[in-house]
């Protein structure tokens, strides 16, 4: 299999962590790609021209981080990324973590291409407000501590928080979010999170 990715995408990081957690690292060839530079190899496999994309051994190109995680979960053994006995709770928390990634990424990209004045636009304000509400909720209700497994809820929240710390650190001060910082510090011990650090 081939995974198109880069080192700064939170979405690609979720897919890469899923591959590591499912013991598939040896079967997944990492293909470093720059979607913003119209990478022809990426465009040849998927019309969206976004990362991540996983090309299966059969040649199917799957885009969307959560769909890739679902596929990797299904073709492998070991602890499920979405444990069936806690399916609704895990997916509910994963939706919060994924929303955090999405809102943070939207703010970062808008600032990159339109400057910080993008924050004042209607969309910018909505994304920043969503970010603030999401962080507040997570501070009240952090995910389960990372232990023997690392399921999709924990993965998306960890990557979302890591991304905010990487790109928007002013939005996540330690004194305002002590429980989240403590949770993330512990989660960072997980080898798959450590091995996929943003660069
Ligand atoms: N919903 C997608 C988001 C993927 C995405 O936005 N990827 C970014 C990189 S972080 C990208 O490739 N952007 C290029 C573009 O939008 O043209 C997922 O979960 O995988």
pLDDT by position in tens, the chain (length 199): 999 999 999 999 999 999 999 999 999 999 999 999 999 999 999 999 999 999 999 999 999 999 999 999 999 988 999 999 999 999 999 999 999 999 999 999 999 999 999 999 999 999 999 999 999 999 999 999 988 889 999 999 999 999 999 999 999 999 999 999 999 999 999 999 999 999 9
Q: Which domain holds residue 91?
A: 84-194
Distance 188 CA to ligand 1 centre (A): 24
Cβ(98) – ligand 1 distance below 6 Å? no
Distance 70 CA to ligand 1 centre (A): 17
Complete edge-to-edge strand list for the sheet that includes strand 61-63: 29-32, 2-5, 53-55, 61-63
The CATH number linked to 99 is: 1.20.1050.10
Residue with tokens 């013991």, as numbered in its chain: 23
Residues 69 and 117 in one domain: no
Distance 153 CA to ligand 1 centre (A): 20
Cβ–Cβ under 8 Å, residues 141 and 89 = no
> SS3 for 134?
helix
Domain-located, residue 52: yes
Cβ(99) – ligand 1 distance below 6 Å? no
Alpha carbon 173 to chain centroid, angstroms: 20
Domain-located, residue 168: yes
Cβ–Cβ under 8 Å, residues 172 and 164 = yes
Domains in the chain: how many in total? Answer: 2
> CA 180 → CA 12, 155, 166, distances in Å?
22, 14, 15
Domain-located, residue 89: yes
59 conformational bin, left if phi > 0, alpha if psi -120 to 50, beta if neither = left
Cα distance from N-terminal residue to C-terminal residue, the chain: 24
Residues 94 and 152 in one domain: yes
Residues 146 and 53 in one domain: no
| Residue 104 parent element (H or E) | helix 87-114
| Residue 162 parent element (H or E) | helix 152-167
The 8-class DSSP code of residue 12 comes to: H
């Amino acid at each position: 299999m081939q995974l198109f990715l880069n080192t700064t995408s939170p979405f690609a990081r979720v897919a890469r962590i899923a591959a590591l957690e499912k013991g598939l690292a040896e079967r997944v060839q990492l293909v470093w790609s720059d979607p913003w530079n119209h990478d022809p190899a990426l465009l040849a496999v998927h019309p969206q021209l976004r990362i991540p994309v996983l090309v299966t051994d059969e040649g199917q190109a799957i885009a969307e981080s959560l769909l890739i995680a679902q596929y990797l979960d299904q073709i492998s053994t070991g602890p499920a990324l979405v444990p069936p006995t806690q399916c609704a709770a895990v997916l509910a928390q994963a939706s919060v973590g994924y929303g955090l990634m999405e809102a943070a990424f939207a703010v970062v990209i808008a600032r990159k291409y339109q400057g910080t004045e993008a924050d004042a636009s209607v969309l910018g304000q909505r994304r920043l407000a969503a970010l603030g509400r999401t962080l507040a909720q997570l501070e009240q209700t952090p995910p389960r501590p990372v232990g023997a497994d690392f399921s999709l809820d924990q993965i998306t929240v960890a990557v979302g928080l890591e991304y905010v710390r990487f790109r928007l650190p002013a939005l996540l001060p330690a004194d305002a979010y002590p429980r989240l910082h403590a949770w993330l510090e512990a989660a960072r011990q997980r080898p798959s999170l450590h091995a996929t650090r943003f660069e």
